[in-house]
Structure 1
């Protein structure tokens, strides 16, 4: 056997035995035999590095190299799930489905909602090429090296596939493994971990993949996503995932109707403590993929899925006081400080109060006895107050009238619950917050530029606005506390590198109210230069898909202020990107044309069709006009079709669009 064939043979055998051991719990060879094969493969790869496969079984061992977690866009957005807490809410959700689908015959796939950290793993021709954390759903951290150390994530599929796909899964630590992990920590005189979820979440982002390898992480997969998805239902795709070698929980169930869904929920509500992993609810999905396509998504959730959350754990504690925090937009957020209490394996000291309405609703007094709970939120919430235990001498808690930082009178819109400090130029937390946002990884991504450095530069009056960052010199930085020559040089280098950030990240970095990452991408796709955006009318901005009145008004307000326009000019002159790169726009065949997409398509998803239009120079708008070109699929929106008819605007089918504009799909 020649060397190349021997390496392929050993890799194939090790992948197979890894699957038999970790996935099926049916080992066919001893640990000694497995280790012997692994050692032989390692030796061969060392001698012949040119023959080493990136997905070799030896790559599970892990590296001591420091992993840099770059933020990478997901191939397909990882949406959150809408939560429900009662059967009534589930029935309302089902009724909404019936109304849209115009049929009562809807079946469901019910799955356990594991309490871990979500990941998306990409495969090309059956080979693992990338692993990302969920992040914000649009982009996630590249944790590929760490993902490869988890034995239940196949480096290659068991069966050859000729299409590319992503799989979504939940990385967890099972209960028995968590106990063993903590026993080892205690034995070594170390502090034990608090709970499995936080430990799994922290482990997946350790800088050393060799350390990740030591953690007993497992991944359970629940979804496959592809442009060429060959499956018709969720249950079919889960079975296919198993055949491909992915770890899928055996506790999912096909339910013919909502009553069977309730039976499934009731069963697991009683049996969840008998599982070897933590769950916090049940995920209910419309089983048919055709129905899923028709239902589509809101800006946050898929309409075809919902999470039923089990009763969350609660604890009793006392209110100490309330802090009022000032955000970068001037929003004032009250946070309750509590007497420390153990909840869901962590010590809780704070709880969210959101706004004045929440304080009034709870009727809070000093030193009140509270019930707090922790669901999916990072900060727990106050559920109720025990008024019978209230001290009669306690004072009622009222919302503040003035900014806690600068003393300015607070402002509140009649249609909003939030209070704001309008002193944006002179309120210190707002100024610091804007700079923190500007330099953050998802914005200008200036590595090594921390909050302390921002505050020291502000206090020394070295920076006043974003453009000042790009005029910083090494000599100015070296004079700061804890800033050595090398650190200063690295920071100036990182600042210079940040000029390469794409247009949508630059727009996002400005911190314009309501203009988040997704909105920035939509705006920069529609308006390819900052001048296009500045010159756009309010109506033009509203034409952008999923851009509402609040966003349009906020954007026009920002772009009408001379001080902001001056800042944009300075940043542009300094070399920041305020135009789409040519590489982002692949063609010009649809230049200056506006398209409305309505209905669903068998050959392509709506999102993919949008990308094709944008990449060829076109625009995608949400409202029908006499000039817009309508592409109509199955079950188009009645209001759009009626308006098109009134305007005499004849819709195109997908085939008409492809043939008329010579588009490749």
Structure 2
């Protein structure tokens, strides 16, 4: 293809994408790809000026207005800005400005975010909004006055009284990110087409033929400048105009700055690139304008852009690439996350080869198939994700993704609860992907309470293949521990002592330590009280499980899925063989009710029980332990040096007992020791 043919091809392709984006609000390619095509055409026309023609996309700004709207001719054209993608291009811009102004020193600039929305102009007569228009092709826009009047951020009447008789304000209509997500949720709920991105949604919302539709969309407006401003006594700088606009009631960017020279420009760009992800709205770069308006006038314009301004774009957050494969990543909690393996693509400032697909439902909703051409988004430090597919590029060989039924790491069954979008590996105590999380939970204070076994030590034990299951903890030796980084012999001895101590536990603690999905500390106590013995719990079906207080179908399903996995049962048997023991009793259904349902308050120092041990015994027998005395309290268990709680019990007439009476009540339930 020769140069002339390439120019014609580029013009045709750019016009097609402009129509898709600006008129139909349905872009086919990411902004970065459009920019690449446009810059290639600009470069070819610069090298071959004989090929330049008035109908080239480089000689216009946007797209033609929709015929359904009336036309508005802008008093001053609403031109686009030239783009810079590197520090070198910004340096060249600053140099051209200084040369154009014959400036001996550095130039002052107004710097502000580059909003990613739809440009509009607002015309005011005697402080009252009389017309609003889109940018259109830069010379002629669409009359969308009725729609713009629905935006609460646009003043219908200006504040103050120092405004000129005629004023044209220019700015951007956009959607905040959270509003965009809510809008798409509503679109999905109504079965309507979702918007591609906030800018696409803003454009589609503003260009509704029925203003009532626009009014229901959460559009916002930011002013960034003026068109014509006849009158005396008005600001002489762009930054001064922004201050004046704010005083008249217009929203303006709080992140705007007045900076000096190249260092100021690049410093502002760096600052905003770091703050970008924290903003409530999308920006795709920053804008620099020579601050002095007289200097702007001297610099003038080129064919489609001012010489005094520049848009310094951020690295593209969206790019197009091919989805090569979908693999499964198993997380620390057993969640199976589909991961897209991509043909390498530069996006968001880095080369991306993987992107998250979240879950199976999301894959189905977006109709993602292996072999598709996809648009990938990476914003700041956010994990890259697939935004959408390009169905027109789907090859015949594209195939659907099928979630595996067995965990790709350990082979355990993959299960999915009815209340979750996430599928999970059921081999919690066995699966290597969940090993660290399972060990940390097992050793936590309210489980087996192994003091000294924290994140860093677990990382070392697992990464060194010393510990694979919780039972391996009870096989650790002093030499193996002392050889680990930052583990002295005394620390190793203390840890081994804590592990040995943890062998003596309660059934409730042991159940909680297993880490069954949806089984917290309270549910573990309820299960221990109800079944009395671990084997009864392991053998219980879902119908028997839902007889336990506060255990519903979802929790019962989670317990059953855990117990059905042979790897988990084997891990439990290994723990028993390693010496982990607890006292077991009769099921709650056949024991007395001397403690069950009663409210106890513990105060003072008991002769032989710690307060925590007494609390566990009461709760294991079905009672409740409160921290304060009230009329609902059944018993106050008082030890030595009991304080104000004892006094309040006497005042309210609550029964006061000692440790011996408490043990007698517990023994009356038939449980003796704590299950």
TM-score for the superposition, normalised by structure 2: 0.38
Q: Which has the larger radius of gyration?
A: 2
TM-score for the superposition, normalised by structure 1: 0.39
